[in-house]
Amino acid sequence: MAEAGRATLRVCALYPDLMNIYADRGNLLMLERRCEWRSIGFEVSAAGLGEGVEPDAHDLFYLGGGQDRDQRLCALDLVETKRDALHAAAGRGALVLGVCGGYQLLGHRYALGDEEIPGLGLVDLETIRSDGARLIGNVAIEVDLDGDGRRRVLAGFENHAGHTHLGPAERPLGRVLKGHGNTGSSGLEGVRRGSVIGTYLHGPLLPKNAWFADWLIAAALGLDALDALDDRFEDAAHAEARRAAGV
Amino acid sequence: MLGAKIAVARAAGALSRSSGRGATSLPGKLLMRMEPRAIERLARRLPQGSAVISATNGKTTTAAMVAAILERSGTRLVHNRAGANMAGGVASVLLAAARGDGIDGDAGLFEVDEFWLDRVVAQLRPRALLLANLFRDQLDRYGELETIADRWAATVAAAPDATLVLNADDPLVADLGRQRPPRQVVYFGLEDDGLALSQMAHASDSKHCRRCGAPYVYDAIHMGHLGRYHCPNGDSRRPRPDVQATGVELDGTRGARFALHVGAQHAVVALPLPGLYNVYNALGAAALASALGAPLGQIVEGLQATQAAFGRAETVSLGGRELAILLVKNPAGANEVLRTLALDDGDHDVLAVLNDNTADGRDISWVWDVDFELVARRVRRVTCSGTRAAELALRLKYAGVAPERLHVEPALERGLDAALADGAGRLVALPTYTAMLALRELLVARGAARGSFR
């Protein structure tokens, strides 16, 4: 706790102009303000097409969702210019959060009929575009992030045509309470391997789950706990998102 | 045969109205079920044919402007002015105007939902098609912007006889005119960089050339991704507009003045509607009216006489206060409303209403793309209401509104009363679509506004 005043959360936003289709910037804003209110420093740097990333310079890498064409552009760029750095970053414990399209790109590949988009291969999963109806709606999942049996709820909204299948050794982020999740039928949502997290809860999921924003800040900085904030509005928004999902 | 089906649909509509439901599209939906080509068969009866308007933002207001212009010369319009803009809504106004084998009207004027455009245009076969803008909107319902653009391209290709009226400043829209002979396309645009933004808003769309994928280079950004742009590879550039606005002066939430140029002529327009977005609506309306043969003088008179479409910059008096209703339904539209609000002096009292019903979009992610920061330090009190009031309040808190100025009251009527009770002078309501309808219903019940469905 004593270090919190001197700590700085260093975020790398990957393709913030292209992979932001569902207002992903709400997540960065959430992290920024909640650091600021606790006198934790906050830095965000953008890494766009063709720009390399420094694996040791950031505590959290954020990759959001984009339109199909933009996702394709970014996937190729990720593999060409950023894969090794992101593997190195994740390897030393930096957080990597992939949301929606960004989640799909954490795996091996995204197959769309005849076409295949390459992924980072940070986790053992693949995504296959379904010809059926898109999986759209409010969603709530139950997670146990610290592995101590304390279950908490993440609520949000999902909208995806891809069905994501986890490899045999891979663990989901959580269990679907309401909504579709990875495939619409597996009951599993997202992926979690150490500091790498992926989820279909898209766009501004941190505003709906302020507790998760704090978990990310603490985990990224290696802090056990953060100062409490006046979270009346945050708690109400979380409750509202859960009600919208029906839990 | 059609006559009998019309009678059945009308009877059902009368029954539905008497039960107190304001559904304007129900008789049309019913008629379409009995006669899938009803729109085509009825629209054919209009001696001067039809004009169609579609866009993400501004459809209802633009259509109201075109109606004000055309009606000045005595043209009797069949027009879905209440904004029911899917096939059922269009069929409903047509069947209401049907008389025996004829129709009570000279010309059709229809705003059409961007997702329904292909089906409705295929039946209406309009003389002119105004396509004004494409912004990201309700991704859960409409899908990606590129998907809508592709559908529109197919719609345009399937209507080779229609004159296209296109926004030159929206690259996605302007590109639709590429395959057409020049005499069949009228472009409109803003020729005034005085109001250009220093940077693009976060929620801007279609920033990449539709031909080669390279990011457009912008020499001026007017709103969202609208502006003066060109592709760095020379694959596309903004067409020179035939109908232009210059010398734009915005007068806060009250109105705007600009010089309207149509071909070699020009005249000053004092528009009674606020904001640069309404200047764009006026430009589109002027270009469409001009394509239909209206002279400049009539266009100017019509624009100056346009009344706010309901819920769009409409102002009523309630509980001793002035209540201004400004519909917000997506980031681009909301940003323009906030930009306009920021032009007015003083601190604002705001009633912000966020619903997540189907017609609003179930996904409220978009509020995090709205630049509420524009007015965050310019509000005295914000009452947040609607089904997702709490997240809206949270968005405002993170935009920099002091928490003590924020009040959450999800039930709309209680929110309205709480907002009215605290403060004096003007109250600005920012409702999403279904919230706007519900708010107007409350105002009508209190005698503060006229109903719009009769």
Which member of A58, A160, A202, A238 is catalytic? A202
pLDDT at B451: 67
Put simply, the answer to whether A137 touches B362 (Cβ < 8 Å) is yes
A-chain CB neighbours of B367 within 8 Å are 23
Is residue A49 packed enough to be buried (19+ CB in 10 Å), middle (13-18) or exposed (0-12)?
A: middle
Q: Token digits for B121?
A: 């245009």
Q: Which of B204, B362, B363 to mutate to test the interface with A (most CBs of A within 10 A)?
A: B363
Put simply, the answer to whether B398 touches A207 (Cβ < 8 Å) is yes
From start to end of A167-231, where are the E strands? Answer: 174-178, 188-189, 191-193, 196-199
A-chain CB neighbours of B140 within 8 Å are 136-137, 157, 159
pLDDT in tens, chain A (247 residues): 445 456 999 999 999 988 988 899 999 999 999 999 999 999 999 999 999 999 999 999 999 998 888 899 999 999 999 999 999 999 999 999 999 999 999 999 999 989 999 999 999 999 999 988 999 999 999 999 999 999 999 999 999 999 999 999 999 999 999 999 999 999 999 999 999 999 999 999 999 999 999 999 999 999 999 999 999 999 999 999 999 999 9
CA-nearest residue to B393 within chain A is A233
Provide the shortest C-alpha distance from residue A206 to chain B (in Å).
11
CATH code given to domain B2-305: 3.40.1190.10
Using only C-alpha atoms, what is the Rg of chain A? 17
Provide the shortest C-alpha distance from residue A48 to chain B (in Å).
13
Contact between residue A86 and residue A101 where contact means Cβ atoms under 8 Å apart: no
Question: Alpha helix (H) ranges present in B207-316?
Answer: 276-291, 296-305
> Domain residue spans in chain B?
2-305, 312-445
Numbered residues of chain B with Cβ closer than 8 Å to any chain A Cβ: 136, 139-140, 144-146, 202-203, 207-208, 213, 331, 356, 362-369, 387-391, 393-395, 397-398, 403, 406, 408
Identify the CATH homologous superfamily for domain B312-445: Mur ligase, C-terminal domain (3.90.190.20)
For B272, phi then psi, to 5°, come to -80, 10
Which member of A100, A160, A163, A238 is catalytic? A100
How many angstroms separate the CA atoms of A144 and A121, rounded? 24
Host domain of residue A159: 2-245
B297, HSE (Cβ side, Cα atoms, 13 Å): 1
Is any Cβ of chain B less than 8 angstroms from the Cβ of A117? no
Nearest neighbour of A25 by CB, restricted to B145, B368, B388: B368
pLDDT in tens, chain B (454 residues): 788 899 988 888 887 776 655 557 889 999 999 999 999 999 999 999 999 999 999 999 999 999 999 999 999 999 999 888 999 999 999 999 999 999 999 999 999 999 999 999 999 999 999 999 998 877 766 677 888 899 999 999 999 999 999 999 999 999 999 989 999 999 999 998 777 777 776 666 667 787 787 888 888 899 988 999 998 888 888 999 999 999 999 998 889 999 999 999 999 999 999 999 999 999 999 999 999 999 999 999 999 999 887 777 888 999 889 999 999 989 988 998 999 999 888 899 999 999 999 989 999 999 999 999 999 999 999 999 999 999 999 999 999 999 999 999 999 999 999 999 999 999 999 999 999 999 999 999 998 887 654 3
Q: Find the CATH number of the domain harbouring A218.
A: 3.40.50.880
Catalytic status, residue A100: yes
Contact between residue A184 and residue A109 where contact means Cβ atoms under 8 Å apart: no
Distance, C-alpha B17 to centroid of its chain: 26
| Nearest one of B269, B296, B302 to B74, comparing CA atoms | B302
Complex-level ipTM beyond the 0.85 threshold: yes
pLDDT at A239: 98
Put simply, the answer to whether B368 touches A239 (Cβ < 8 Å) is no
Contact between residue B206 and residue B171 where contact means Cβ atoms under 8 Å apart: yes
Is any Cβ of chain B less than 8 angstroms from the Cβ of A118? no
CA distances from A22 to A19, A184, A205, B145, B324 (A): 9, 21, 10, 12, 29
Q: Token digits for A56?
A: 């040791």
Contact between residue A30 and residue A207 where contact means Cβ atoms under 8 Å apart: yes
Chain A, 172 to 231: residues with Cβ < 8 Å from chain B are: 202-204, 207-208, 230
Residues in chain A: 247
- The total number of structural domains in chain A stands at 1
